[in-house]
Amino acid sequence: MKILISNDDGYLAPGIVALAEVLASIAEVVVIAPDSNRSGSSNSLTLDRPLSVYRAANGFFAVNGTPTDCVHIALTGLLDYTPDLVVSGINQGQNMGDDTLYSGTVAAATEGYLFGVPSIAFSQVGYGWTNLDAAARVAREIVLRRFDTLQKPYLLNVNIPNLAYEDLKPLKATRLGKRHQSEPVVKTEDPRGREIFWIGPAGGAKDAGLGTDFDATANGHVSITPLQVDLTHRQQLAMLESALA
């Protein structure tokens, strides 16, 4: 099995180092990731300049671009083969509900999925890189499951509670929950008196009911949500057709 690994926290982040290490024991891995933290970069491609690739001492490839750039160039010219799987992460911080739209971690996996490669995004709840060994062990177990009965390509969004391995509850299939709108922007002044805006944190969970990623992880379960990319609102489409008739 050949696995392409990326992330949005940058190629030096402990999460991607841990992920590459555990997956190297079960597959041939290549790591191609942003050269700096590009969290929140969503599915953006860099189109206004060319991208450079630098091979770091540990063998990882660092790209001066976004997570989506990394997977895109890997699959369209950097690699001379198509990987069997694209994995992204392990992200520092959860990517649940609306987070998935902003997340660079999910975006890297989405790019693999859009190129027809089964892809999995891994995120760990919380900050501080604690219990990373547990999260990496879970990621390895999930990759080993292979999910042969799922329609291919699949795109899975995994959120792992920040707990010791023994305290983690079984994997749970979930749907995305929903957040309240983001906290207000922080409006202040720079040292030269110019107005600046600092985007606030994501809002709290609004729909965290049974069956959601929020609920599963809050109860210690590892959450796995199958994602798709078609944003069409089917019900609105029918209503729009009626409105235009």
Q: Which spans of this chain sit near Mn ion (rule: CB under 5 A)?
A: 8-9, 39, 91
**Residue 88's closest CA among 141, 161, 158, 12?**
158
Strand partners, 92: 124
Least distance between Mn ion and beta carbon 146 (Å):
26
Q: How far apart are CA 93 and CA 35, in angstroms?
A: 19
CB of 87 to Mn ion, least distance (A): 14
CB of 88 to Mn ion, least distance (A): 10
Shortest spacing between CB 184 and Mn ion, in angstroms: 22
Tell me 212's DSSP state. B
Closest-CB residue for Mn ion?
39
- Asked if residue 8 lies in contact with residue 121, where contact means CB atoms within 8 angstroms, the answer is no
Query: Which ranges of the chain does DSSP label H, i.e. alpha helix?
Result: 14-23, 67-73, 99-102, 104-114, 132-145, 213-218, 234-244
Nearer to Mn ion, 39 or 43 (CB): 39
Q: Which is nearer to Mn ion, 93 or 161 (CB)?
A: 93
Of residues 50 and 201, the one with the C-beta less far from Mn ion: 201
Judged by beta carbon, residue 79 or residue 227, the one nearer Mn ion is 227
Write a three-state SS string for 72-88. Answer: HHHHHHHCCCCCCEEEE
Q: Which is nearer to Mn ion, 8 or 35 (CB)?
A: 8
User: How far is it, in rounded angstroms, from Cα 180 to Cα 190?
Assistant: 29
42 versus 64: smaller Cβ distance to Mn ion? 42
Q: Rounded to the nearest whole angstrom, what is the least distance from the CB of residue 201 to Mn ion in the complex?
A: 13
**219 backbone dihedrals φ, ψ, rounded to 5°:** -100, 15
- For the chain, count helices (H), then strands (E): 7, 13
Q: How far is the CB of 170 from Mn ion (least distance, A)?
A: 26
